[in-house]
Amino acid sequence: MARVRVRRAYDEPEKADGCRVLVDRIWPRGLSKEKAALDEWCKDVAPSTELRTWYAHDPERFEEFASRYEAELHDAERREALQHLRELAAAGPLTLITATKRADISEAAVLARLLSP
- Tens-place pLDDT, residues 16-64: 999 999 999 999 999 999 999 999 999 999 999 999 999 999 999 999 9
Sign of torsion, CA 49 50 56 60? negative
Beta-strand ranges (E) seen in the chain are: 4-8, 19-22, 40-41, 94-98
One-letter amino acid at 94 equals L
| Entry pTM | 0.94
DSSP label of 16: G
* Segment (H or E) for 89: helix 76-91
- Tens-place pLDDT, residues 96-113: 999 999 999 999 999 999
Domain that holds residue 15: 4-115
